[in-house]
Amino acid sequence: MHIADGIIDARIAIAANAVAVAAIYVSGRKTTIEEIPKMGITGAALFVASLVHIPFAGTSVHPGLYGLVGIILGKRAFPVIFTVVLFQSMIFQHGGLLSVGINSINMGAGAFAAWLIWRQQALPEYLRAVFAGFIGIIIPVLLMATEFQLSGYGRGILYLFSIYILAAVVEGVVTLSVVKFFRRIKSDILT
């Protein structure tokens, strides 16, 4: 899900960095010193999660956890996701350095959408959790498909990315399972 440098149009990648910096200021405004360790450890978990592979249907997938990050951090998710994407780019070269902005916007939008769904208290919790996990993958994929199309790849990219629906379903199940565990063990971690 990490776009490397050179894959999409350079102008889009550069503009996305400017948008990402603005988003950091907006979403990180008035962060209290008490919120910092939660942001740090969630970031570390997100970073490590990309190295974990779950055997699934004869292959392996790694959890994205953007939905879960949205549930845990709410509007503070974006600065954390930006930092993780920056780390992944510099340390493991997953995604490019110039593409940090575009990658963090894609994933941050997924986390933000998941948070919005999670806040709909009228819905049962299990439904909110599954849907938050699902949407946490689908939104980044849709944004990514749009960016590829704007870079001249054509509509066909949507067919290629449809495989991510499967990953989003797995993510929904994992998110539900983790939320249930948190609710049982440590309820206050859920925003």
Phi, psi of 55 (to 5 degrees): -65, 130
| CB of 55 vs another protein, minimal distance in Å | 7
| CB of 122 vs another protein, minimal distance in Å | 26
| CB of 42 vs another protein, minimal distance in Å | 8
| CB of 109 vs another protein, minimal distance in Å | 18
* Closest CA relative to residue 44, chosen from 32, 36, 33: 36
DSSP strand E in the chain: where? Answer: 54-56, 59-61
CB atoms within 10 A of CB 96: 19
Nearer to another protein, 37 or 58 (CB): 37
Cβ 135 vs Cβ 110: under 8 Å: yes
Crossing angle of helices 66-73 and 100-118, rounded to 10°: 60
* Closest CA relative to residue 70, chosen from 35, 43, 110, 39: 110
Nearer to another protein, 31 or 122 (CB): 31
| CB of 61 vs another protein, minimal distance in Å | 11
Nearer to another protein, 119 or 161 (CB): 161
Nearer to another protein, 4 or 143 (CB): 4
Residues that bind another protein (CB under 8 A): 3-7, 10, 13-14, 21, 24-25, 28, 31, 33, 36-41, 43-45, 47-49, 52, 54-55, 63, 79-80, 82-84, 86-87, 89-91, 93, 96-98, 148, 152-157, 159-160, 170, 173-174, 177-178, 181-182, 185-186, 189
| Token pair of 54 as six digits | 């779950």
